Amino acid sequence: MIRALVVDDSIVMRKVLIGALNRAQITEVDQASDGLEAVQAVQQKSYDLILMDWNMPNMLGIDAVKAIRAGGYAMPIIMVTTEAEKSRVIEALKAGATNYVIKPFEPATIVSKIQDVLAKAGVVI
């Protein structure tokens, strides 16, 4: 059973991402509405994948990625954000993001990235 964490301050976007995860055969999904909740969730449960927004209240997604990596957690993290500048993509990857999807996206695109990062991490769907 693959467990994912969806982190976004938009309930609508969380539902879209959960739908994409379901299409990738991942049905065990927790939600967080900001980076701080995400870091706390990772400390309490183990996840095989995190989908992380950038711009959120309390703690930015990029800071949550840094905190998760600093805690020694190695699961794939896909940034799913409107931040489209190349410098932002590079910053996210340097912080420890595994991959990057720019909103808005086609559902097939995110499903493909989910399957790709899980395969590279050795997680079988």
Residue 72 sits in a domain whose CATH number is 3.40.50.2300
For residue 17, being part of any structural domain is answered with yes
Tens-of-pLDDT digits for all 125 residues of the chain?
999 999 999 999 999 999 999 999 999 999 999 999 999 999 999 999 999 999 999 999 999 999 999 999 999 999 999 999 999 999 999 999 999 999 999 989 999 999 999 999 998 87
Q: Answer yes or no: are the C-beta atoms of 95 and 60 closer than 8 Å.
A: no
Label residue 30 left, alpha or beta by phi (over 0 means left) and psi (-120 to 50 means alpha): beta
Number of domains into which the chain is organized: 1
DSSP state of 72: T
Residue 125 maps to a domain: no
Residue 56 is part of which domain span? 3-119
Q: Is the peptide bond before 104 cis (omega within 30 degrees of 0)?
A: yes
CA–CA separation, 62 and 85 (whole Å): 14
Q: Is residue 124 part of a domain?
A: no
Whether residue 92 lies inside any domain: the answer is yes
Query: Which of 82, 78, 76 shows the shortest CA–CA distance to 102?
Result: 82
